[in-house]
């Protein structure tokens, strides 16, 4: 194994899901739903499989899916995309993020990101030989995660190549505000940096609104927007994602992507196109269901004695273990199945400055209410 990948052990999601299987604990660790996505989408996939859509699709994705992605961005975010040059399908958001960083960063280039960050960010930046410049999100008064403006400014410099922004944010549940995004946009322009935005939770904002960075003045031409079907349509195992943006950025992603996976699962592509075209009611009902889950788990964790930070979006809520006598999230989560029969994820592994997250753990609420209730019952002892 090359030296630079040595620090990356097994992902925390693999470790914690294996622990859940081994111990029979309720798994609120890895974020995946326990119910299937829309029936129309599942039927379309079955039909595509049975009707011979089983060979290599085009590199960019099948035209019907690229059109559906463009139409979805127009419908929800008023972003105009040319489906032929400004949209490309990827193996989940994960491949889009990796291909974007590999395509845009020279060794030694710097990537500004916010910690805690989704774990693939650090690995993709490292694979590219680039350097991460993390800005820490910290829970402030009222439990909202905030960053220090001076720290963000200080993270930018002459080697800044891009900002990697995830909003709604995993694991904190933060939804970046218009004012925060405006500051990020100004700094991108001042330093002539690109933005790569990970918006896989775009339909999961419960308080506030989701604002794609690409919609801010001056940002469309320098932003690559990434999303995926996994979260929005409860099909995390399908790994159908996409990147949209100006043609020069999309073609840069394609240049790399063609040698990573070349193309992605052909029968799933028409099915995701069907899902993206579902009426608004699908998206509102999905959001309402997840909001109810969030409320139920947040209240339950408080009853169980955790300090709980409000989650404004995503699948996740974070909690402070100190009120329960915990000091180290990794130790706490490794012991939690034996102690309470529940699996959670320590968020300290998503920081460079691990002290900032030592006492924080994350619970996923993309589960049936009876599963959430059972987890809470166990945690309350
Ligand atoms: N980004 C974030 C913030 C995520 O939480 C996830 C999680 N699954 C991904 C990217 C990866 O998405 P995909 O499964 O589509 O690769
Ligand atoms: N995005 C999900 C999470 O944060 C799953 C990630 C994974 O398994 N790689 O839990």
Residue 237 to residue 260: CA distance in whole angstroms: 18
Angle between helices 63-77 and 268-276 (to 10 degrees): 20
The answer on 57 and 31 residing in a single domain is no
The answer on 89 and 24 residing in a single domain is no
pLDDT score at 273? 98
The answer on 100 and 20 residing in a single domain is no
Work out how many domains the chain is built from and give that number: 2
The answer to whether the CB of 200 is under 6 A from ligand 1 is: yes
The pTM for the full model equals 0.97
**Mean pLDDT, 10 residues at a time, the chain of 381 residues:** 92 93 96 97 98 96 98 98 98 98 98 97 97 96 94 98 98 98 98 98 97 98 98 98 98 98 97 98 98 98 97 98 97 96 96 95 98 98 90
The answer on 104 and 233 residing in a single domain is yes
pLDDT score at 265? 96
pLDDT score at 251? 98
Q: Which ligand is nearest to the CA of 121?
A: 1
The answer on 69 and 181 residing in a single domain is yes
The answer on 103 and 225 residing in a single domain is yes
Q: What is the domain range of residue 298? A: 3-37+281-380
pLDDT score at 142? 85
The answer on 231 and 156 residing in a single domain is yes
The answer on 291 and 156 residing in a single domain is no
Instruction: Using the mean position of ligand 2's atoms as its centre, give its distance from the Cα of residue 201 in Å.
Output: 12
The answer on 305 and 261 residing in a single domain is no
Q: Which ligand is nearest to the CA of 28?
A: 2
The CATH number covering residue 349 comes to: 3.90.1150.10
Residue 198 Cα: closest atom of ligand 1 = 1
Residue 13 Cα: closest atom of ligand 2 = 8
pLDDT score at 141? 81
Q: Which ligand is nearest to the CA of 18?
A: 2
Residue 120 Cα: closest atom of ligand 2 = 9
Residue 229 Cα: closest atom of ligand 1 = 15
The answer to whether the CB of 13 is under 6 A from ligand 2 is: yes
Radius of gyration in angstroms for the set of CA atoms belonging to the chain, rounded to a whole number: 20
Q: DSSP E strands: which ranges in the chain?
A: 26-27, 87-91, 110-115, 131-136, 138-139, 145-146, 160-166, 194-198, 223-228, 240-244, 307-308, 316-320, 342-343, 345-346, 360-364
Instruction: Using the mean position of ligand 1's atoms as its centre, give its distance from the Cα of residue 250 in Å.
Output: 19
Residue 71 to residue 79: CA distance in whole angstroms: 9
The answer to whether the CB of 31 is under 6 A from ligand 2 is: yes
pLDDT score at 39? 98
Boundary of a domain, candidates 276, 295, 327:
276
Other residues' Cβ atoms within 10 Å of the Cβ of residue 325:
8
pLDDT score at 61? 98
The CATH number covering residue 48 comes to: 3.40.640.10
The answer on 266 and 222 residing in a single domain is yes
The answer on 346 and 372 residing in a single domain is yes
The answer on 258 and 351 residing in a single domain is no
């Amino acid at each position: 194994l090359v030296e630079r990948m040595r620090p990356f052990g097994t992902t925390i999601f693999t470790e914690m899901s294996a622990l859940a299987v081994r111990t029979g604990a309720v798994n609120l660790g890895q974020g995946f739903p326990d119910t299937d996505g829309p029936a129309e989408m599942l039927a379309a996939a079955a039909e595509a499989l049975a009707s011979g859509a089983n060979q290599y699709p085009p590199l960019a994705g099948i035209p019907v899916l690229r059109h559906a992605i463009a139409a979805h961005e127009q419908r929800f975010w008023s972003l105009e995309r040319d489906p032929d040059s400004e949209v490309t399908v990827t193996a989940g958001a994960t491949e889009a993020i990796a291909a974007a960083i590999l395509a845009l960063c020279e060794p030694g280039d710097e990537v500004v990101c916010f910690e805690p960050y989704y774990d693939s960010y650090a690995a993709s930046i490292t694979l590219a030989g680039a350097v991460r410049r993390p800005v820490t999100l910290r829970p402030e008064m009222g439990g909202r995660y905030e960053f220090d403006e001076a720290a963000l400014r200080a993270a930018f410099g002459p080697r800044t190549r891009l900002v990697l922004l995830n909003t709604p944010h995993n694991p904190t549940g933060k939804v970046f505000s218009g004012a925060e995004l405006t500051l990020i946009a100004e700094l991108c322009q001042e330093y002539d940096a690109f933005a790569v935005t990970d918006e896989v939770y775009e339909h999961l904002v419960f308080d506030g609104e989701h604002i794609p960075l690409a919609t801010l003045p001056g940002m469309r031409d320098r932003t690559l927007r990434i999303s995926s079907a996994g979260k929005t349509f409860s099909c995390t195992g399908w790994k159908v994602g996409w990147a949209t943006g100006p043609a020069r950025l999309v073609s840069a992603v394609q240049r790399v992507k063609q040698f990573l996976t070349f193309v992605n699962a052909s029968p799933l592509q028409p099915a995701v196109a069907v899902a993206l075209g579902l009426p608004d009611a699908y998206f509102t009902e999905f959001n309402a269901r997840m909001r109810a889950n969030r409320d139920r788990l947040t209240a339950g964790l408080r009853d169980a004695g955790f300090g709980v930070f409000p989650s404004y979006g995503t699948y996740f809520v974070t909690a402070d273990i100190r009120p329960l006598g915990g000091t180290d999230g990794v130790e706490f989560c490794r012991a939690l199945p034996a102690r309470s029969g529940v699996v959670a994820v320590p968020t300290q592994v998503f920081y460079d400055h691990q002290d900032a997250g030592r006492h924080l753990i994350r619970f996923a609420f993309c589960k049936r209410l009876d599963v959430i209730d059972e987890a809470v019952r166990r945690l309350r002892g």
